[in-house]
Amino acid sequence: MMQNNLVLRRLLIYTNTGKIAYDERFHKGINVICGDNSSGKSTITHFIFFALGGEFNDFVPEARECQVVFAEIEANGVVVTLKRYIEIGEKSQKINARIALHIFWGGIDEAQNPPISKYWEKYEYSNTDRKASFSGVLFELLKLPEVKEENNITIHQIVRLL
């Protein structure tokens, strides 16, 4: 029997000025995000979706003041940190939902100041002749078979399903 699991361990978001906008550790099991109306609960779920590779570009104005989101995850016992920049298109003024994902094989704290022997790897939204897309890397990490068809299944579609 195949067993796959993905656990969000921590979400860290920085503003355009380099200040921490949100930093929360999560635990295995059910995590409850609570707060008053319009306090940012939905925005946090949008950031989680975006950090995991989902295509989301309709952030509220306050979230558009953020620069980068980090998600420390554990997938099948392996801890990695995902980093995704928040880029706003000059013409459309929309968030670029197909932005690359950077992957660090270790936790957020180590990723903030990595040792010389470890580094961030950048993976684009789509495959290239030389490198897999971030969907392919995450599928491999999650031990999910990659579907190669006319319309490939992406990590965005998996995250939407979850």
- Cα gap 24→47, rounded to integer Å: 12
Cβ neighbours of residue 50 under 8 Å, at least 6 residues apart?
A: 56, 69, 84, 86, 97
Q: What are the tens digits of pLDDT across the range 42-68?
A: 999 999 999 998 888 888 889 999 999
Residue 115: helix, strand or coil by DSSP? coil
DSSP state of 7: E
Token pair for residue 9? 């361990």
pTM for this predicted structure: 0.86
**Per residue in 83-121, is it b (16+ CB within 10 Å) or e — as a string?**
bbebeeeeeeeebeeebbbbbbbebbeebeeeeeeeeee
Q: What are the tens digits of pLDDT across the range 3-44?
A: 678 899 999 999 999 999 999 999 988 898 888 888 888 999
The pLDDT of residue 82: 96
Please tell me the total number of residues recorded for the chain in this structure: 162
